[in-house]
Structures are given as C-alpha cells and as structure tokens.
Chains A and B, each alone.
Chain A
Amino acid sequence: MNPRILAATTGRILRQLRHDRRTVALLVVVPGLLLTIVYHMYVDQPVPPGRPSPFDRVALIMLGVFPFLIMFLVTSIAMLRERTSGTLERLLTTPLNRLDLLFAYGLAFGLAAAGQAAIASAVAYWVFGLTTAGNSALVIAIAVVDAVLGVALGLLCSAFARTEFQAVQFMPVVVVPQLLLCGLFVARGQMAGWLQAVSDVLPLSYAVEALQEVGAHAEPTATLWRDLAVVAGAVVLALVLAAATLRRRSG
C-alpha cells in the first residue's frame, strides 16, 4: 500500500460524494426521521420496572444498524459503478494497489458514517432523551466500526454482482438475516439453538451486543472489547476476500 495513493483515492471518493448533494442530505436527515418514528411508536408503551425503556433499547441498536445498512448499499453500488464505467479497469493499470482502493473506500465511507452517526446520536440523546449508562462517544465509535463492516461486506458482494439489480438483491441476502438474528427482535438467548448458532457467526450480532454493553454499563466491559475485536476481525476477513476476488486480469 502507498499512503499517497490511499489519501488521493479517499479524497476522490469523498469529493464524488460531496457532488451528490441529495445523497448527502439523505445521509444526514433519514436516521433522525426514523428515530422520530421509533420514538412515537414507543412513547406510550409501559416501561417495565428496572429495565431500559423500549425506546432506549431499540434506538441504541438502530444507531449501530443504520450505518451498517446504508454503507453496505452505498458501497455495493459505488464499486459496481467503478466496474461498469471502466474506471476500475483503468485504475488497475495504474500504480494503485488493490488494497489501496479497498481501504480508501473503507476510510471514505467510514468518515461519512462518523458524521452520520454523530448527527443521529445527537438527535437520539438530545431530542429524544436517549439514556445509556456508558459514554455516547463509544456509541458513535461502535457505529463507525459497524459502517466499516457494511463497507467491507459491500466491497466483497459487489464482486458477485454484474448489474445494479443484482447488487441491490444482496441486501436481503446479506443484511436482513443479520438484522433478524442480531437480538433486535428477539433476545439471542431466547432463540432456538440452531438460530442462535447462526447468530453466533454473524458479525452484526457482536456489534449489537457491544452497543447493549454500553447501554448497560458505565465503564467499557471486557465483552465490549471482545465484540469490537470480532467485528474488526470480520472487516479484515471481508477485505482480504474482496481483494482476492478483485482480479486485475479478466476475460
């Protein structure tokens, strides 16, 4: 890898994003709107004594799930555009290394996700009174790691898509099962054994558990660090696989 090329490519991707004002507006506004819906869904629900309110529980998980979902989609489409426009083929004839390109996407969209997570968290904490035992900065940090996980899986999946239609179809395949099994709908401990086993190998489960740890404990716990390490490991694995599927030569 080459720091100069990595920086230039990250800057290029962010510049492309900046020119797309509507996408930027959607990234900024949509999480807040969805949190508003969730707030009003749960506002009249009784709070079980000694438990976090339903809004606190769901909003906290949403802060992590949202960047994962959005960055997965954005990255799949962005990478597919590189392929179909011929820019990828041209890039592969320049001194750019495959890892420069993949890490640049991770960095650029990770930065975009940090901005998005900061705004969404501000809305959740200040407008809707989200309370967590742990630090809100940790929530944002976990959200960014989740976003980078979305980017890495998006980069990997885009290798298997020839068209935008196919790329979008990977969302129900890759994202929705993780969403269903991450503990948002049913606590993972209450699932059937085989579903729990599936949940145990899906990285989003660990991301959600990390957020729940911040929600329940004032100080970062050992489980939190282990969960973050698992998610980071999944990111590295997905990037290595993405690099392996990104062939310089094609037919």
Chain B
Amino acid sequence: MEHAIAVRDLVVERGRRRVLHGLTCSVPRGAVTGLLGPSGSGKTTLMRAVVGVQTVRSGSVTVLGRPAGSSTLRSRVGYLTQAPSVYADLSVRQNARYFAALHGRGRAEADRAVADVGLAEAATQLVGTLSGGQRSRASLACALVGEPELVVLDEPTVGQDPVLRADLWARFHALAAAGTTLLVSSHVMDEAARCDRLLLIRRGRLIADDTPDAVRAAAGVDDLDEAFLRLIRAGGANPAGADGDPS
C-alpha cells in the first residue's frame, strides 16, 4: 500500500545545529501515527518538513504522492502548530469561519468543527479570553475544519483535562476510521498506547517505527515508557549528555 507520508534520508539544520540526521520513516494511510520523543528531539521540525514550511538540507519528503509543500497539497493537509496559532482578537467562531473559507468550506462546517472540539458554548468568546486548553482546541478546530486527508497535529492534547483528552483521541480514531491519516506528536508516553503506529525519535534519529505492541515485544516490557528507555539503551549510539532533555 502507498504510504501517506514517506520521508527519506531527511537532513535538517537549524542555524548551525543539525536537528534531523538522515531520518527515514513512513506513515500509513487511514491510521493514527504517534510521533513520540522527548522535547528537543526534532518532532516539530519533522512535522514542519511534512507540511512544507521547513527548509531542508537534503533528503526527500513525499506527502500523498507529491513533494511536501506542493501547492496542490495545501488544500489536502491540515496543520496544528504547537503554540495555538489562532487570532486572539477574533472569536472562536470567526477564527473557524476564516479557516473554513480558506478551504472553500462554509459556516455550517465551521460551526461543526467548533462543536467537535467541545467549544460550542464558547463559540462567541474572543480567543484571547480563553484558557490555554480552550485556545489550543480552537486552534485544533481550525486545523480540522477543511476536512483534510492528512492531519498533522503538534502536541494537540497538552493542557487538556483527562475527559477531554479521551474525547479528542476518540475523535482522532473516528477520523482515521473514515480514511483520514493522522500524524500526532506527543512527549507523554501514555498517549503512545492510543496510537495505531509509533515513530519514536530521539536527537533527530529514529529509534522505533512500529505498532505499540511490537515496540513492547521488541523491548520485552509492557510499559511503553520503559520500552522506549530500553530501546534507547539497546541502540547505545547516544550515551547520556548534552542536547535533548529526556522527559
């Protein structure tokens, strides 16, 4: 089967620092793929490369069969940045309607996207007056409103209460069941178990690319956090030190 995202030998440098060291991985269609790794491991950089806003040094990123960033992809890919990128001086509904209009969608779709992230009651509130968690859900609504084939979500569940977090993951799986491909980053391991497939990266290198069960089996433990640790130690290439801050 053709993959939704195929990354080959991707090298990215930010300033003088090499952030991704020849990364190769793929993301299957119609599933939720988790991009896991500690803060500073290169998750955001990889996601930016996938949506085509990252300058890359070498290597290739193919998204839905086209080079990442192609103009035809821009109506088929939805992107949630890590910091909520919505207009603080507009209401939730006005934000959703604007991003809906960019994707050729109408008011009904915008209102549905707002309701889907649990913000129906706050729809007329200015984003600037929302809590951090609400603000990031407003941003999520704007990423989903265009009903994209591929959704790239950078830490969408940070700061959400456990009930809402469960709702959001249920929603991600419902989207995947309907054929949407999701790439979701997180630095908390308990979310890894909710993914259909995992990409574990550390210091810009891929450590694992498998299902959660296979990752557990490979490491010989049930706990994914522990499994991640064992895989890093088994890899042995990077003894503890310098850049990343393992969490």
**What is A's interface to B at a CB cutoff of 8 Å?**
4-5, 8-9, 11-12, 15-16, 19-20, 85-87, 89-96, 248-251
| 8 A Cβ contacts from B120-167 to A | 126, 142, 146
> Interface residues of B toward A: which range?
20 to 34
- Contact between A16 and B79 (Cβ–Cβ < 8 Å)? no
CA distance A11 to B83 in the complex (A): 24
CA distance A243 to B177 in the complex (A): 40
| 8 A Cβ contacts from B56-94 to A | 69, 71, 74-75, 77, 79, 81, 83-90, 94
CA distance A196 to B114 in the complex (A): 58
Q: B239: CB under 8 A from chain A?
A: no
Please, which residues of chain A bring their CB within 8 A of the CB of B88?
A: 85
Please, which residues of chain A bring their CB within 8 A of the CB of B101?
A: 4-5, 8
Q: What total count of A-B pairs have CB within 8 Å?
A: 79
Please, which residues of chain B bring their CB within 8 A of the CB of A251?
A: 13-15, 54-55
CA distance A96 to B71 in the complex (A): 10
- Contact between B103 and A12 (Cβ–Cβ < 8 Å)? no
In whole Å, how far is A204's beta carbon from the nearest beta carbon of chain B?
30
Q: A85-B88, A93-B77 are in contact. Are A250 and B102 (CB under 8 A)?
A: no
Please, which residues of chain B bring their CB within 8 A of the CB of A96?
A: 74, 102
CA distance A85 to B87 in the complex (A): 8
- Contact between A250 and B77 (Cβ–Cβ < 8 Å)? no
Please, which residues of chain B bring their CB within 8 A of the CB of A16?
A: 87, 89-90
The 10 closest A-B pairs by CB, nearest first: A86-B85, A8-B101, A93-B79, A90-B85, A94-B102, A12-B98, A93-B51, A249-B55, A86-B81, A95-B75
Contact partner, A89, options B13, B81, B126, Cβ 8 Å: B81
- Contact between A12 and B94 (Cβ–Cβ < 8 Å)? yes
Q: B104: CB under 8 A from chain A?
A: yes
- Contact between B90 and A89 (Cβ–Cβ < 8 Å)? no
Q: B118: CB under 8 A from chain A?
A: no
CA distance A15 to B90 in the complex (A): 7
Q: B52: CB under 8 A from chain A?
A: yes
Please, which residues of chain B bring their CB within 8 A of the CB of A12?
A: 87, 90, 94, 98
Please, which residues of chain B bring their CB within 8 A of the CB of A91?
A: 102
Please, which residues of chain B bring their CB within 8 A of the CB of A20?
A: 89
- Contact between A8 and B53 (Cβ–Cβ < 8 Å)? no
CA distance A116 to B211 in the complex (A): 61
Please, which residues of chain B bring their CB within 8 A of the CB of A85?
A: 83, 85, 87-88
- Contact between A19 and B54 (Cβ–Cβ < 8 Å)? no
Q: A87-B85, A93-B53 are in contact. Are A249 and B69 (CB under 8 A)?
A: yes
- Contact between B146 and A249 (Cβ–Cβ < 8 Å)? no
Given contacts A86-B84, A93-B53, A96-B102, 18 further A-B contacts (CB under 8 A): A4-B101, A16-B87, A19-B90, A86-B81, A89-B53, A89-B85, A90-B79, A94-B102, A94-B146, A95-B71, A95-B75, A95-B104, A96-B74, A248-B52, A249-B52, A249-B55, A251-B14, A251-B54
Please, which residues of chain A bring their CB within 8 A of the CB of B126?
A: 19
Instruction: Using CB atoms, name the residue of chain A closest to B84.
Output: A86
